[in-house]
Amino acid sequence: MTTKTKRIVATVLIAIPTLVLIIGGLLKILNKEPESVMQFLTEAGFGNYILLLGLGELIIAALLIYPKTIKIGFLLASSYFGGALCLEISGGQPPVSAVFLTILWVGMFLKEQGMFLLAPAEN
């Protein structure tokens, strides 16, 4: 795969979970989440934190969009999707977050392999 192709694929793959974060954040802030999602989050104990979750999603998405902060955005997005995955599994929901987490990791691996591979040992 050429460098240009790899960069394009990485950008598209990272954009998918970023868009999910943006849409989810906006829906939470505007109080437009589907009732089933709101009920699930309330039953899980997050009812009072919906606005905070929405703001967090938008901040993480912004960090992923800005090139200088993509690494911290990646780590925060991984944590967010990992937490969502745990919540989905414990609540008997389909593990949709695993799909976005995987897409994010593959995209970031293509973009910044140095985050995942050990640096060569210095003599």
Which residue segment(s) compose the domain that 53 sits in?
Answer: 3-111
In a domain, 55, yes or no: yes
In a domain, 51, yes or no: yes
Token look-up 């780590």 returns 75
In a domain, 123, yes or no: no
In a domain, 65, yes or no: yes
At residue 35, the pLDDT reads 94
In a domain, 120, yes or no: no
In a domain, 9, yes or no: yes
At residue 18, the pLDDT reads 98
At residue 123, the pLDDT reads 58
At residue 108, the pLDDT reads 96
pLDDT, averaged in runs of 10, over the chain (123 residues): 92 98 97 93 93 97 96 97 96 95 97 83 62
Domain count for the chain, please give it. 1
In a domain, 118, yes or no: no
In a domain, 81, yes or no: yes
At residue 119, the pLDDT reads 67
